[in-house]
Structure 1
């Protein structure tokens, strides 16, 4: 008999209807996700399942999951969630998606199942752990790297330095990884989380929650598999989910 595959919930993006006569996927609201999120989870031994945007159902969804992946997207965490009174002109939000993802993360933290936050998912995780965000890196950091890299997302944009003696370091077995980069915001304060990776310009690139079986956020997109460390991160998630499901 085949071993049970850990069930990994994956959050979706949400898009509005296409304008009349403008083409697009649908004239009704629709969900979206890049195929490589699901493919990477499956390749590492997990069973991916998409999660819709219904905060009222979040706890019930999580009750059936062994792990949670909070994906990225071209939007930002609402500044009021981390106590900011003003929003930068570049900030774009998706309140319905954020409310659902926040409910999912809170339920996953309460249940103690593995959580992987990716890009915007890492930023939301930091905020829910009591942290804050930099609303626009170019305005806040002189000589910042191109965190919105000009080259394709399936190529590296810069390196990140992994902090020794962290869960992330033990998973990837390296002190430096090449990563892709697609974000204009960054974590400023990690709250209850701890920093486990930084870019050469000092931007926080990963955080983790001490005492949790697996709660890691990374600012890059490991689902593209830029380095061996990306796959090792997903394999670590699946291994932890397998333990959670036993």
Structure 2
């Protein structure tokens, strides 16, 4: 009997003063991995990146209500931002090492933005003030409700979603990924904001701007099945 592919999930961390500080991750991330056929493992921060990567078959970089320091993508902050340098440093190291191993890597929302930065891209610091004609990408409504459509604009090497197809997605972000030669935009929203990217070369390295762990629409199942298929293949090759 083959083993389930092991998916390392990066958690968030709250600001409660130590020793009461807690790692936190929404259950639906782990549930989505389990339902797609994987074994979810939460990764506490630490200087043991190689050891973690030796133990897993895929890396899931989760979203969070904070921003990436603009200095990491060669920009100057245009207004105050909430950043989490300890978390970002850990996730950045995990992504860079996973990419070097060609380990399947999925970035969700903030995780997509950090994946893009690690690949060499830059970010829109604030959609509402920097993207003319953009609609609200961080609405008041729950992430359990679809907010807008996305259109697949390029064929993915790893996700089975035909070019030209539209899907409904949720939306919980105020920053976005800028175009770059380092990756290929896979999907955009009607206002032109990039909603999914894929590394140009290497293994599965995909970022999605929405939150597929909520299972709002058909594209969410496509994301999880593609990610877990890549992780299973990686496991068979390396274990």
TM-score of the alignment, normalized to the shorter chain, above 0.5: yes
- What is the aligned counterpart of 2:99 among 92, 106, 109? 109
1:70 aligned partner = 61
**TM-score, reference length from structure 1:** 0.91
1:16 aligned partner = 15
In the alignment, the residues of structure 1 paired with residue 232 and residue 21 of structure 2 have an alpha-carbon distance, to the nearest angstrom, of 34
In the alignment, the residues of structure 2 paired with residue 118 and residue 230 of structure 1 have an alpha-carbon distance, to the nearest angstrom, of 11
In the alignment, the residues of structure 1 paired with residue 77 and residue 61 of structure 2 have an alpha-carbon distance, to the nearest angstrom, of 25
1:45 aligned partner = 37
Of 78-87 and 44-53, deviating more is: 78-87
Alignment root-mean-square deviation, CA: 1.6
Contact 1:129 1:191 in 2 (8 A): no
Tell me the secondary structure at the aligned position of residue 23 of structure 2. Answer: strand
* Residues 195 and 5 (structure 1), Cα distance of their counterparts in 2 relative to 1, 3 Å cut: same
Contact 1:66 1:113 in 2 (8 A): yes
* Residues 164 and 130 (structure 1), Cα distance of their counterparts in 2 relative to 1, 3 Å cut: closer
Counting only pairs closer than 5 Å after superposition, residues 224-239 of structure 1 correspond to structure 2 as 224-239=214-229
Aligned residues, how many? 235
In the alignment, the residues of structure 2 paired with residue 71 and residue 31 of structure 1 have an alpha-carbon distance, to the nearest angstrom, of 13
1:223 aligned partner = 213
In the alignment, the residues of structure 2 paired with residue 191 and residue 132 of structure 1 have an alpha-carbon distance, to the nearest angstrom, of 11
Contact 1:15 1:31 in 2 (8 A): yes
Tell me the secondary structure at the aligned position of residue 159 of structure 1. Answer: strand
Contact 2:154 2:187 in 1 (8 A): no
- What is the aligned counterpart of 1:61 among 13, 36, 52? 52
Structure 1 residue 85, shift from structure 2 partner: 2.4
**TM-score, reference length from structure 2:** 0.94
Q: Structure 1 residue 5 and structure 2 residue 23: aligned? A: no
Structure 1 residue 182, shift from structure 2 partner: 0.4
Structure 1 residue 166, shift from structure 2 partner: 2.2
